[in-house]
Amino acid sequence: MAVIVQLVQGIQGLAGKLLDPSNFGSIITTTLLALVILLVVTQLQQVLFKDKNAPPEVHYWIPYLGSAIDFSLNPIEFYAKNRAKYGDVFTYTMVGRKFTVCLGVEGNNFVFNAKLADVSAEESYKPLTTPVFGKGVVYDCPNHMLMEQKRFVKWGMSNDAFRAYVPQIVEETEDYFKRWNNETGGRADVFTAMAELIINTASRTLMGPEIRAIMDESVAQLYHDLDDGFQPINMFFEWLPLPSYARRDSAHVKMRNIFMKVIEQRRANNETHHTDMLQSLMNQTYKDGTPFTDKDAGHLMIALLMAGQHTSSTSATWGLLYLAQNPELIERLLEEQKDVLGSVDAPLTFDALKNMTLLDNVVRETLRLRPPIIMILRKVVRPVVFPGSNYVIPKGNYVAASPLATQVDEQYFKDAMKFNPDRWDSLKKEEDIGDDGIDFGFGKVAGAGGARNPSLPFGAGRHRCIGEPFAYVQIKTILATFVRMYDIRLTEKGLPEPDFTKMFVQPKLPVEIDYKPRK
């Protein structure tokens, strides 16, 4: 008790001194002195306590923040500048954590195919994902369970499901653009349009018609609250008492309950005709007999919603921007539709989309230049040697891969910054698995050979994206429908720059295009 009284008195005394104007001068002097000491200690630490076996470290001045500002302004320039100085593997500090980036095709392969005993995706992403997705799924369970969850998801992404989805996505797209000026055309915010259209089409197809029916009333708001809690700040400070954190937690519970209620109703009504993801997650069991519960299904549905939204909507936005920059491609896409379908009025189908090579190449090239995820992270759980070097990456560091670095490297792509979908006619595609494919439990993905492909917007190895086929169907259907409806051009502002401060790299806002209706 006496200790508490003393502590309170001490705090009162300190507060009194701080608030007394006669002490202001000495407070400023003390603060400045403390800052100088902190700066000197930060510099000495970097010089005196160097780990000789660890990769070289980027020098920084600001304690704790380290290179955070430099990095987030333009990670690509940051990597290029330091790569020239230190080589493909180096460490930088951000918000008190050490990130060892491994560049180049060897770096990609090292991070994507690292052993589970050496690195952990769960340890890196969990603070961000668990409060949003919920417990027991994705990064809140042992890796072998995630691999099985990916198998359940894959089951819901069959060609038959996609055949059903394409007309639904067309209908949603045509419906959405009724709000644009279809008499004279005009200028429109294409970023917002794609964000809304992606969530509408994902809910209509993957999530289920029941979710689409309440999208405009409740689900859109819940999604926004979840999304506000899915930002870089949540990854670094999982405990902040901010209102957005409370809104996120409440939205999580409401969203999960919505999914669970739909499952309950489908069961009660014996509805078995649905082709969507929710249906495929309703009756799954892990190989060891553990049931995949309705609560797990609700959580995994939230994970899929979040994983697919920004990634696909920013990609669709960039795709349209590149088409607006290269209008001759729009004409060629229409010609391709005529070739494959006989007319641009014939209904789009999944099988027809598969034969539209240029359309496929437009999406592929968009993802090469503007992949939404530019940093893939794993936490080092035991010291690991970077192959072919003497570098030992210490436990506790994060290893980072940045496929974007190889995707815009002249060594692999001539005129790398130019949008040229035709280059893919002669290049090896990412999904060409090759002879060394590996099955981690959800179907074969490329092994070390494929992970050395310089373009990996969907990652590689055990954590490779499970949503790629859906994303391609969704984006291709939207683009194909859009070019039937409108001719588009960039505004006088030209192509927007990427905004790297966002978790999923998006164009700097506002993102407008000029459009003219065709009919």
Q: Which residues pair with 253 in a beta bridge?
A: none
Q: Is 197 in the site for ligand HEM (CB under 6 A)?
A: no
The site that binds ligand HEM (CB under 6 A) totals a number of residues, namely: 25
Answer whether 376's CB lies under 8 Å from 111's CB. yes
List the x/- string, 40-79, binding to ligand HEM by CB under 6 A.
----------------------------------------
- Amino acid identity of residue 308, one-letter, is G
Q: Is 312 in the site for ligand HEM (CB under 6 A)?
A: yes
**Given the complex with ligand HEM, which of 312 and 397 has the nearer CB atom?**
312
Binding site listing = 465
Q: Which residues pair with 487 in a beta bridge?
A: 516
Instruction: State in angstroms the smallest separation of the CB of 114 from ligand HEM.
Output: 11
List the x/- string, 199-238, binding to ligand HEM by CB under 6 A.
-------x--------------------------------
Q: Is 319 in the site for ligand HEM (CB under 6 A)?
A: no
Bridging pattern class, strands 119-120 and 438-439: unpaired
List the x/- string, 423-442, binding to ligand HEM by CB under 6 A.
--------------------
Bridging pattern class, strands 392-393 and 384-385: antiparallel
Backbone φ and ψ for 378, nearest 5 degrees, come out as -140, 145
- The position carrying tokens 């739909």 is 262
- The position carrying tokens 């549905």 is 301
Stretch touching ligand HEM by CB under 6 A, among 71-79, 93-101, 370-378, 489-497: 370-378
Nearest residue to the partner ligand HEM, using Cβ: 467
- The position carrying tokens 């920013």 is 314
Instruction: State in angstroms the smallest separation of the CB of 146 from ligand HEM.
Output: 6
Bridging pattern class, strands 97-102 and 398-401: parallel
Answer whether 96's CB lies under 8 Å from 106's CB. no
Answer whether 449's CB lies under 8 Å from 434's CB. yes
Q: Which SS3 state, helix, strand or coil, does residue 145 take?
A: helix
Q: Is 278 in the site for ligand HEM (CB under 6 A)?
A: no
Neighbours of 56 (CB within 10 A): 15
**Given the complex with ligand HEM, which of 55 and 372 has the nearer CB atom?**
372
Q: Is 457 in the site for ligand HEM (CB under 6 A)?
A: yes
**Given the complex with ligand HEM, which of 54 and 252 has the nearer CB atom?**
252
**Which residues contact residue 401 at a Cβ distance below 8 angstroms, ignoring those fewer than 6 apart?**
101, 102, 107, 108, 110, 111, 112, 375, 376
Instruction: State in angstroms the smallest separation of the CB of 120 from ligand HEM.
Output: 11
Answer whether 487's CB lies under 8 Å from 516's CB. yes
**Given the complex with ligand HEM, which of 304 and 405 has the nearer CB atom?**
304
Q: Which residues pair with 490 in a beta bridge?
A: 513
Distance CA 421, CA 24 (A): 64
Stretch touching ligand HEM by CB under 6 A, among 47-55, 267-275, 311-319, 507-515: 311-319
Dihedral sign of CA atoms 137, 142, 147, 151 in order: negative
Instruction: State in angstroms the smallest separation of the CB of 418 from ligand HEM.
Output: 21
Q: Is 376 in the site for ligand HEM (CB under 6 A)?
A: yes
Distance CA 6, CA 373 (A): 52
**Given the complex with ligand HEM, which of 60 and 165 has the nearer CB atom?**
165
Taking CB under 6 A as the criterion, the residue among 114, 194, 278, 304 binding ligand HEM is 304
Instruction: State in angstroms the smallest separation of the CB of 460 from ligand HEM.
Output: 8
Taking CB under 6 A as the criterion, the residue among 458, 482, 486, 515 binding ligand HEM is 458
List the x/- string, 107-136, binding to ligand HEM by CB under 6 A.
--------------x---------------
Stretch touching ligand HEM by CB under 6 A, among 348-356, 390-398, 415-423, 457-465: 457-465
Q: Is 466 in the site for ligand HEM (CB under 6 A)?
A: yes
Instruction: State in angstroms the smallest separation of the CB of 377 from ligand HEM.
Output: 7
Q: Is 459 in the site for ligand HEM (CB under 6 A)?
A: yes
**Given the complex with ligand HEM, which of 206 and 341 has the nearer CB atom?**
206
- Centroid of chain to Cα 79: 19
**Given the complex with ligand HEM, which of 89 and 401 has the nearer CB atom?**
401
Distance CA 162, CA 183 (A): 33
Answer whether 471's CB lies under 8 Å from 319's CB. no
Answer whether 353's CB lies under 8 Å from 477's CB. yes
Binding site listing for heme = 465
Instruction: Determine the Cα angle at 121 with ends 396 and 470, to 5°.
Output: 160
Closest alpha carbon to 207 in 132, 304, 129: 304
Give the interface with ligand HEM as residue ranges (CB under 6 A): 121, 146, 150, 206, 303-304, 307-308, 311-312, 315, 367, 371-373, 376, 457-459, 463, 465-467, 470-471
